[in-house]
Amino acid sequence: MIAFLSGKLIEKHANTAIVDVGGVGYEVSIPLTTFYELGEPGSDVQLRIYTSVREDAIQLFGFTTARDRDLYLKLISVQGIGPRSGIAMLSGMSTDEIVAAIRANNLARLTSIPGVGRKTAERLVVELRDKVGDMAVTATGEGASTAGLPSDAVFDDALSALLNLGYQKSAAEKALSQAANEGTEITVQKLLRRSLQLLAK
């Protein structure tokens, strides 16, 4: 069972990364929170891994921190949340936001994530409220942003990531446009982060 990978980043996309470990390239499914934190291709990378073994496939799911992986394992322990749904949840919200929503019984916040219905949100709260008590929310500060309009490639990459997460195209495009007009720094990461905040409202 693979639990950790350390190597060179070959490629990264909004939902996957390829890591070269000793000449072997591992394709790893990642949430957006991990995508934001990865360096550029060619940089060194270390990922905590969850290995999903099914009859027809072995899949690797990667996270930059043990904390993200711990929350992911808790999420997929809840009935109705599979490996891909767990990745979508960590893409739609940060670990801190998910923990805060579960502890506050904030069903509206949880159901704003594509694929999470009211029943699943209720199960998350009931089953995980006590289990996430030790994952206290940490403060995060956002740096200053610079204004500008996104290039087509940046906009398309961000839109593709939102569609892969299950958001409707019209809603995703509207959120991306609003994020760009607010003067969000024009990188795929910044656009996605702000768009997800808008879509969660």
Do 54 and 87 lie in one domain? The reply is: no
Mean pLDDT of 140-157: 53
For residue 26, what are the domain limits? Answer: 4-63
Do 37 and 76 lie in one domain? The reply is: no
Q: Which of 88, 89, 78 is nearest to 120 (CA)?
A: 78
Do 54 and 71 lie in one domain? The reply is: no
**What single-letter DSSP state applies at residue 38?**
-
* CA 7/CA 43 separation, integer angstroms: 8
CA dist 174 → 32, 189, 200 (Å)? 19, 17, 13
Bridge partner list, 48: 4, 63
Q: Is 141 a member of any domain?
A: no
pTM score > 0.75 for this model? no
pLDDT at position 150 over 70: no
Neighbour-count burial of 171, counting CB atoms closer than 10 A to its CB (0-12 exposed, 13-18 middle, 19+ buried)? middle
Contacts of 169 (CB under 8 A, 6+ apart): 159, 163
Number of structural domains (the chain) is 3
How confident is the model over 97-144, as pLDDT tens digits?
888 888 888 888 888 887 788 898 999 999 998 888 766 554 343 333
The pLDDT score that the predictor gives to residue 141 is 36
Q: Is 166 a member of any domain?
A: yes
Q: Is 144 a member of any domain?
A: no
- For tokens 């990459």, the residue is 157
